[in-house]
Amino acid sequence: ANLRDLLGCDNAAVRAKACNAIGNMARHSSAFYEAIQHAALLPQLIPLCADIDSSCRKFASFAVGNCAFHSDLLYPGLAPAIPQLLQLLEDKDEKTRANAAGAIGNLVRNSGELCGIMLENGALQGLHGLIEARRSLATDGGAEPPNPDKLNQFTADSSVKIALFSLGNLAVHRECKEAMTSAVPIVDMCHQLMGLCQRDDMIHKYAQRLLQKLGG
């Protein structure tokens, strides 16, 4: 069976492994991008970001992110994944949230051609919402001082770090940067995160990086 058939298999474990295979093909370089395009794998892969099986969602978002990382060749074919990636920012699984957040950042990493679609679909609000939802859990909605165990859980959450990093990728592009300084309270969020986390925490560093990109 070819990969396209495997992506459509009734067995969820097979679908997940097919997604993982594509993710690994695209992991280290763009060498397989043209083959992925010519084999028409993306229209089969993208719907699996909304699969009922959690492993499929995790590996499909991993594959989409890697297909966007090395160049913008596959951006047009990956654009339909954006609404599904944004849904995954609320997934229960931390790794799936992280993969989705990373994929969103990768889809603006190599060019700004998808910025308009990102803004239309609420990518800034989605990434901001992920971070704020996790921060609220850590601070019990604003308890002072925050519970140390919950704060440690927050600073260790890979999806928060990657969402912040992806906001930094979006901030490189003028239209996204303008939206961040007007429509979405990103600057306030960054200052709150820097106040909450230690200077050597990656969340603190990524919040600082984002502020610098926004000129604040």
Which pLDDT score, from 0 to 100, does residue 169 have?
97
Rg (CA), the chain: 17
- 134-157: pLDDT as tens digits: 999 888 766 567 788 899 999 999
* Tokens encoding 121: 């679909």
* Percent of the chain with pLDDT strictly greater than 70: 97
* Tokens encoding 47: 């719907």
Q: How far apart are CA 19 and CA 60, in angstroms?
A: 5
Query: Looking at residue 146, what DSSP letter applies?
Result: P
Q: How far apart are CA 17 and CA 162, in angstroms?
A: 24
* Tokens encoding 154: 């927050």
Which pLDDT score, from 0 to 100, does residue 42 have?
98
Tokens 């230690």 locate to 198
Query: Looking at residue 80, what DSSP letter applies?
Result: G
Tokens 């993208």 locate to 46
Mean pLDDT, residues 106-114 taken together: 98
Run of H or E residues at 81: none
- 40-98: pLDDT as tens digits: 999 999 999 999 999 999 999 999 999 999 999 999 999 999 999 999 999 999 999 99
State pTM to two decimals. Answer: 0.95
Q: How far apart are CA 124 and CA 21, in angstroms?
A: 30
Q: How far lies 146's CA from each of 155, 163, 195, in Å?
A: 12, 22, 12
Helices (H), 3-157: 3-7, 12-25, 33-38, 42-45, 54-69, 75-78, 82-88, 94-106, 115-120, 123-138, 148-156
Which pLDDT score, from 0 to 100, does residue 214 have?
94
DSSP 109-135: TS-STTHHHHHHTTHHHHHHHHHHHHH
